[in-house]
Structure 1
Amino acid sequence: MAPIVTRFAPSPTGDLHLGGAYVALASWWLARRSPAGRYVLRMEDIDTPRVVTGSAERIVADLVGLGLAWDEGPIAQSERLHLYAAAIDALNARGLVYPCDCSRADIARVASAPHAGEETVYPGLCRDRDPGRPMKRAPALRMRVPDEEISFDDGVAGRFVQNLARDVGDFVLRRGDGVYAYQLVVVVDDLDMGMTDVVRGADLLASTPRQIFLARMLGATAPRYHHVPLVVDAHGERLAKRTPGAHVRALREAGIAPEEILGELAHGLGIMPSGQPCSLRDLLASTAAQLAPRAFRIPSRWLAPKR
């Protein structure tokens, strides 16, 4: 069986969130239990206006504090722009890319109102327009999608099916300000780095079909996906970044040991039978056959840690 290769790919916009630690641990465990498995750390800093100075270094320190060592990285997306440009060139050569100078207001006037939790579906306003026409503004570049269903079996969520044209529409590959879109860069990076398995939050499940399609159009096969439930607070609501105790650093500064954090997270992932403190060696000795995550509710004692 081929070695498992996973990655943890945080955006350096703040300290390591518990939701990020949940995903980081799951990715680390999958790789470490595989003979010759590899675990890669990638900083998704492509959206430079959102990057917080010093955040990448603090995330690295927080991961080290938990003992979640990686085999390769940290790799910064901001140093890989040539790969994303080459991918767009390859897609454009197949007639799959076109410029779009629509504003959000233009799209909103034509698009159907999305239901709760859904995205606005791009209505194709620029799809068949002359690309050489004068542009109202610096254009985005969009991916031309077919009217077909993309399906896959998620390691956690099970079967997922999406019609790209109906549910997504032609999506952005590069914004008008020149920033490459997440949908493109994550596919290029995962393929280039040889990812076999991707663990991430359930909020990205709906993005996966377009990434599978992109991988196919780039002549490759997408990795396996495992979308874990989001970490929630004591009320079952998504854990906000501003919630006290929501970050690993705050918990550590409050005197909560790494073993306690790992134990609770591992129990939430179905790796350990209880939330008792545990070591990395304990995690690797687990008899769990696979990830079996549940919605991880942060322990109430962590929500207002005492310093």
Structure 2
Amino acid sequence: MHSIGRFAPSPSGLLHFGSFITALASYLQAKAKQGEWLVRIEDLDPPREVAGAAKHILTTLEKLGLHWDKEIVYQSARLDEYQHILDQLVQQKRAYYCDCSRQRIQHLPHHLYDNHCQNRHLKPSVDNSMAIRLKQNHPICHFIDNIRGRQNITQAVAREDFTIKRKDNLFAYNLAVVIDDHYQGVTEIVRGADLLPVTTKQISLYLLLGWQLPSYYHLPLVLDQNHNKLSKQNHATPIKLDNIGQLMVDGLRFLGQPIPEDWQDATPQQLLMWAISHWNIDYVPKYDKMFNYE
């Protein structure tokens, strides 16, 4: 099968070292298999977006030599497709409206939704203020991650009817990401380990829709000095492009990859080509780790 990978940043901030790691690893995994590497801008949550961030992310990728193979997909341009599939799920009684408050769910055991609205047969409200949940008929309790091995979750988590459209009328990540990865033909999903908990939900949606499952590779998270995930929410410093060669080497070291002895004499593009030819997913660490990036 032809390998297709992707990098799917949200424009909620500029690229930091953690998101660079995801971009680099997904690129190398695809290119080492002579596959395609795609880029998708996940701009589904306007209140969280930073003006100009999407353009800056794409410019940064180009400067790093990480060039995508097909046209950029913007989730904000695909709302009709999400709604079409959502409508089908509701009509087929595979999804239902839910008016439960966040406070109610917070008071439930382990904060897991109890599928309270599944048989209430609610109708859509005039102001669209209800969520829509997927009726969980394909509960997935485990899957194989190609970096971390078998991943297990409890039956209670697997059977939870999860949100596919939010109360604020925004499409949920778990719905949009599955639809778009299928639409783009993605065969290998290389992303951060913070998304491990939602993977079984996404697999269950793939199965419900009858679509071919991709392979999953969850990368270690970059931790700061306080052992917190490096993220835009934690105000991670954007990567600097004044020494791309050093940045590339830092990224390869974090990913456990070999480094050429004379890397200081290589151009960033030569480093990238070397990294593709020596890429080995088996060397990627299985656990999150601190990394001092300056």
Normalising by structure 1, report the TM-score.
0.85
Pair 1:72–1:130, CA change in 2 (3 A):
same
Superposed counterparts of 1:245-284, under 5 Å: 246-248=237-239, 251-252=240-241, 255=242, 257-273=243-259, 279-284=271-276
| Alignment deviations for residues 271-292 of structure 1 (CA, whole Å, 9 cap, x no partner) | 3258966611221231636452
Tell me what 1:39 maps to.
Answer: 37
Q: Is the 8 Å Cα contact of residues 97 and 124 (structure 2) preserved in structure 1?
A: no
Structure 1 SS opposite 2:5: strand
1:160 corresponds to 2:154: no
Structure 1: gaps of 5 or more residues: 115-119, 303-307
2:143·2:152 contact (CA, 8 Å) conserved in 1?
A: yes
SS at match of 1:72: coil
| One-letter identity of the residue aligned with 1:286 | H
Aligned residue identity for 1:224: S
The 1-side partners of 2:101 and 2:74 are apart by 30
The separation in 2 between residues aligned to 1:245 and 1:143, in whole angstroms, is 34
* 1:90–1:218 CA contact under 8 A, matched in 2: no
Residue from 56, 60, 63 that aligns with 1:62: 60
Residue of structure 1 equivalent to 2:142: 151
How far residue 168 of structure 1 moved from its aligned partner, in angstroms, is 6.1
One-letter identity of the residue aligned with 1:258: I
Q: Quote how far apart the aligned CAs of 1:3 are.
A: 1.9
- Judge which range, 151-160 or 22-31, deviates more: 151-160
Give the residue type in structure 1 aligned to 2:7: F
Once the two structures are overlaid, the 10-residue window that deviates more, 80-89 or 268-277, is 268-277
Q: How far apart are 1:245 and its partner, in Å?
A: 7.0
Moved more, 54-63 or 180-189: 54-63
Pair 164,218 (structure 1): closer, same or farther in 2 beyond 3 Å: farther
SS at match of 2:216: strand
Contact 2:18 2:231 in 1 (8 A): no
Q: Is the 8 A contact 2:147 2:281 kept in 1?
A: no
Maintained 8 Å contact 2:138/2:208: no
- Distance in 1 between residues matched to 2:236 and 2:166, nearest whole Å: 35
Q: Which residue of 2 aligns with 1:179?
A: 170
TM-score calculated relative to the size of structure 2: 0.88
Q: Distance in 1 between matches of 2:84 and 2:258?
A: 43
Paired position in structure 2 for 1:117: none
Q: Which segment drifts farther, 26-35 or 155-164?
A: 155-164
Q: Percent identity?
A: 33
The residue type equivalent to 2:13 in the other structure is: G
CA deviation after TM superposition for structure 1 residue 299, in Å: 2.5
Aligned equivalent of 1:232, options 223, 226, 232: 223
Greater RCO (Cα-Cα under 8 Å, separation 6 or more): 2
Letter in 2 for 1:298: F
How far off is 1:74 after superposition?
2.2
The Cα shift of 1:246 comes to: 2.8
Q: Which amino acid aligns with 2:273?
A: R
1:89 paired to 2:56: no
SS at match of 1:73: coil
Q: 2:186 & 2:202 partners in 1: Cα distance?
A: 13
1:63, CA displacement in angstroms? 1.0
Equivalent residue, structure 1, for 2:290: 297
> Given that residues 196 and 224 in structure 1 are in contact (C-alpha distance below 8 angstroms), is that contact kept between their aligned partners in structure 2?
yes
Once residues 240 and 274 of structure 1 are traced to their aligned partners in structure 2, the CA distance between those partners, rounded to angstroms, is: 29
- Aligned mates of 1:157, 1:217 — CA distance in 2: 25
1:288–1:240 Cα change, 3 Å: closer
**Cα gap change, 1:25 to 1:274, in 2 (>3 Å):** same
Cα distance between partner residues in 1 of 2:204 and 2:245: 40
- Please name the residue that 1:305 is paired with: none
Deviates more, 1:43-52 or 1:238-247: 238-247
* Structure 2 gaps, min length 5: none
- Work out which of the residue numbers 256, 261, 278 in structure 2 matches 1:286: 278
What is the letter of the counterpart of residue 226 of structure 1? Answer: Y
Distance 1:232 1:141 in 2: 34
For residues 139 and 210 of structure 1, do their structure 2 counterparts lie closer, same or farther at Cα, with a shift above 3 Å needed? same
Give aligned pairs, total: 287
Contact 1:98 1:142 in 2 (8 A): yes
Q: Are 1:198 and 1:224, in contact at CA under 8 Å, matched by a contact in 2?
A: yes
Deviates more, 1:261-270 or 1:193-202: 261-270
User: Which string of whole-angstrom CA distances, capped at 9 and with x for unpartnered residues, describes residues 210-241 of structure 1?
Assistant: 10000111111221111111111245432254
Give SS of 1:24's match: helix
SS of structure 1 residue aligned to 2:22: helix
